[in-house]
Structure 1
Amino acid sequence: MVTKTAPFVVADIGGTNARFGLVVGKDGDRYEIVAQERFPSGDFADMQALVAHYLALVAGHAPKHVCLAVAGPVGGDQVHLTNLGWHFSISELKESLGLEQLEVINDFVAYANSIPLLPAEAVVQVRSGQAVETAPIAVLGPGTGLGVACLVPSGKGWNAIGCEGGHIALGAATERQRQVLNVLAQQLDFVSAEKVLSGSGLPNLYRAVATLRGETPRDLSAADISELALDGEPTCFETLSLFCEWLGGVASDIALAQGARGGLYLGGGILPRFLEFFLKSDFVKGFTQKGVMTGYLSEIPVFLAIETHSALTGAAAWLDSHKV
């Protein structure tokens, strides 16, 4: 089946990479997304240059409808991408690209929108539980930043609601976390969850852990830290272990704030890279140990989505339901 506006373009534009695809049809709940491309976001001067580059690649299909899922808050005509420093007007971008329709949504709204459409093989169960079908589902994912969204049930399915929950203040639940947080507070102007529990934040966490261990921190990227942790390097191993445990605590904070007894879905580009390590980590311990709310959290199931183009699927579903 071909959607009304097909073919149309969807994109997931993060602080590190931009993924594009061309939607040419739909079979049940599955969108057929072809001509998928990934570009380093920083290779382009601005949003117009990036989108125009992909449109030129698929010019033979003459797409006039585009949905961009971007890493940043979206509201009104003006959009600012938090981790890229880009600023653009939706109406001006639409006109300059010669489009009939341009939808811009938060990337985690797109990701959340894809959750009900994911096939079973695209999801790994992290923790079993008993989901309440009428309750919201929390969506959380560390990528370049830390994305947060919520799925709220409605009579027609689910409504995806975005927020900036990744920027909440990071709290400590254990003595080691308190020690690390004290060091981070000396190094950063404000210690948000994203400043620690993300690709851009993992080096901050490493430097604090190294400092506490009496070591001189090395200049390591998030990928370096993860790779060294998997090889058993002690400081990086502790860093990545603490990352997983702390992520569990923040995930339970989000679940409590959203009343997400329908479940928690994890996504983002980081966790699938060290899936086995993550599944053996103290994430579940961090998630469930919540004082008087431990019982409340005890039945909330947790899943990890490992499909790399989930946000493209979510953006396709969004545009398909917002045709003009």
Structure 2
Amino acid sequence: MPSLRTFLAGDLGGTKTLLALYSWDEKQLKQQHRRRYLSNQWTSLEPMLSDFIAHLPGEMEQPNNGCIAVAGPVRHGEARITNLPWSLKEKDLCAATGLKHLELINDFGVLIYGLPFLNDSQQVELQLPQQHLSGQGPIAVLGAGTGLGMARGLPTKDGMVALPSEGGHREFAPRSECEWQLCEWLKADLQLERLSLERVVSGTGLGHVARWRLQHSDADGHPLRDLADAWRHGADDHSDHLDLPALASQAASEGDSILQEALQLWLAAYGSAAGDLALQELCVGGLWVGGGTAAKQLQGLRSSTFLEAFRNKGRFRPFLEQLPVMAVIDPEVGLFSAACRAHMLAEQGGTLT
């Protein structure tokens, strides 16, 4: 018998998919069961979901509602997965699993539903003023990973509403001579007419910033210079054989002055982008910094380099100084957020009190 108080949550990626069952207990979500699947070993999501539900422990109730975060755009209940040959439809997934309602949602936009419910083990404070603006208002999140994700959320009487964004593709606006030189070099190197923000402010962008710095004459003979050239030719396929951003970050932490400069430039550009988003959305409910680099670059996100660039917005500096800013450190925040959304859908259907 399907249950109104258990929820299916999923986080579907090109490499792996996490599926879990959550329950609502004492005003909080609790994970009851979780399985990890290798995505490319399945022909589609339908048989994977059917397998997960068929192999639930015997004492667990089958879910009635679900939400699956997917790595790709979602329109009218249909999604095409970016790095898999899968096309998904909500109605087909419900028919295959017996769920009453299942929602597909973009894997970055889904965070909006989870952010207000994160606990101290899932996030850390970057800026939390003693007297900040009222927390009842819009929220926003950005996150540097392979690209730069952005999303915003508006509170309503029925709960938070997520609004997707492609703000990571807006124009990169240099703020200094260094950033201008980087911009012009990258456009020439990548053969681009315009440079999007995520070409710099992303995990991949950190690799590009490191490459730019390593091509200067004072980096002749640097041990990462040849590796940076090799990474340049493999960066587009996102292969894992050479992780230049990680190598650059490690070298900077070990005192490499050239790569410290690269990391500081990247952090400042990231902070400025975060400040621009906060102004655009007037997110008095809070700004979160997520993505794959958040936990790895936590010290940098807490630094004056990032925070000063975030606040340095002229007449709106006092406003930005009053905003709560957090970093998401939970590697499974997408799964948790999908569970929050599934619970919200059940409540909106009048099934919970």
Change in 2 beyond 3 A, CA 1:191/1:152: same
Residue type matched to 2:186 in 1? Answer: L
Change in 2 beyond 3 A, CA 1:95/1:26: closer
Q: Percent identity?
A: 29
- Unaligned residue ranges in structure 2 (runs of 5+): 232-241
Change in 2 beyond 3 A, CA 1:120/1:177: same
Any idea what the Cα deviations from partners look like across 1:219-267, whole Å, max 9, x if unmatched? Answer: 3413333333322333433333222211111111111111223321112
Contact 1:69–1:105, Cα closer than 8 Å, also in 2: yes
Partners of 1:45 and 1:166 in 2: CA distance: 31
Q: Which of these residues, 292, 295, 310, is aligned with residue 287 of structure 1?
A: 310
Q: Which residue of 1 aligns with 2:33?
A: 35
TM-score normalized with structure 2 length? 0.78
Change in 2 beyond 3 A, CA 1:116/1:290: same
Contact 2:271–2:309, Cα closer than 8 Å, also in 1: yes
Instruction: Confirm or deny that 1:314 pairs with 2:337.
Output: yes
Instruction: Confirm or deny that 1:18 pairs with 2:17.
Output: yes
Q: 3-state SS of the aligned residue for 1:241?
A: helix
Q: Which has the larger radius of gyration?
A: 2
Residue type matched to 2:203 in 1? Answer: G
Instruction: Write out aligned runs for 1:107-256 (5 A).
Output: 107-129=107-129, 130-188=132-190, 189=192, 190-212=194-216, 214-215=219-220, 216-218=225-227, 219=231, 220-221=242-243, 222-256=245-279
Partners of 2:80 and 2:283 in 1: CA distance: 29
Residue type matched to 1:120 in 2? Answer: D
Residue type matched to 2:75 in 1? Answer: G
Q: Which residue of 1 aligns with 2:236?
A: none
Partners of 1:321 and 1:40 in 2: CA distance: 28
Change in 2 beyond 3 A, CA 1:178/1:122: same
Instruction: Confirm or deny that 1:276 pairs with 2:299.
Output: yes
Partners of 1:204 and 1:44 in 2: CA distance: 34
Change in 2 beyond 3 A, CA 1:15/1:284: farther
- Which deviates more, 155-164 or 171-180? 155-164
Q: 3-state SS of the aligned residue for 1:185?
A: helix
Contact 1:195–1:201, Cα closer than 8 Å, also in 2: yes
Q: Which residue of 1 aligns with 2:87?
A: 88
Q: Which residue of 1 aligns with 2:73?
A: 73
Partners of 1:186 and 1:52 in 2: CA distance: 49
What is the CA-CA distance between 1:144 and the residue it aligns to?
3.1
Partners of 1:225 and 1:28 in 2: CA distance: 45
Contact 2:15–2:38, Cα closer than 8 Å, also in 1: yes
Change in 2 beyond 3 A, CA 1:92/1:133: closer
Partners of 2:26 and 2:258 in 1: CA distance: 48
Partners of 1:33 and 1:273 in 2: CA distance: 25
Partners of 2:84 and 2:28 in 1: CA distance: 34
Contact 2:11–2:335, Cα closer than 8 Å, also in 1: yes
- Which deviates more, 84-93 or 45-54? 45-54
Change in 2 beyond 3 A, CA 1:98/1:119: closer
Change in 2 beyond 3 A, CA 1:99/1:208: farther
What is the CA-CA distance between 1:58 and the residue it aligns to?
3.9
What is the CA-CA distance between 1:165 and the residue it aligns to?
1.9
RMSD (Å) for aligned C-alpha atoms: 3.0
What is the CA-CA distance between 1:7 and the residue it aligns to?
3.9
Partners of 1:172 and 1:17 in 2: CA distance: 36
Change in 2 beyond 3 A, CA 1:276/1:74: same
What is the CA-CA distance between 1:50 and the residue it aligns to?
5.7
Partners of 1:314 and 1:12 in 2: CA distance: 9
Partners of 1:207 and 1:97 in 2: CA distance: 48
Contact 2:45–2:88, Cα closer than 8 Å, also in 1: no
Change in 2 beyond 3 A, CA 1:270/1:138: same
Change in 2 beyond 3 A, CA 1:156/1:270: same
TM-score normalized with structure 1 length? 0.84
Change in 2 beyond 3 A, CA 1:231/1:59: same
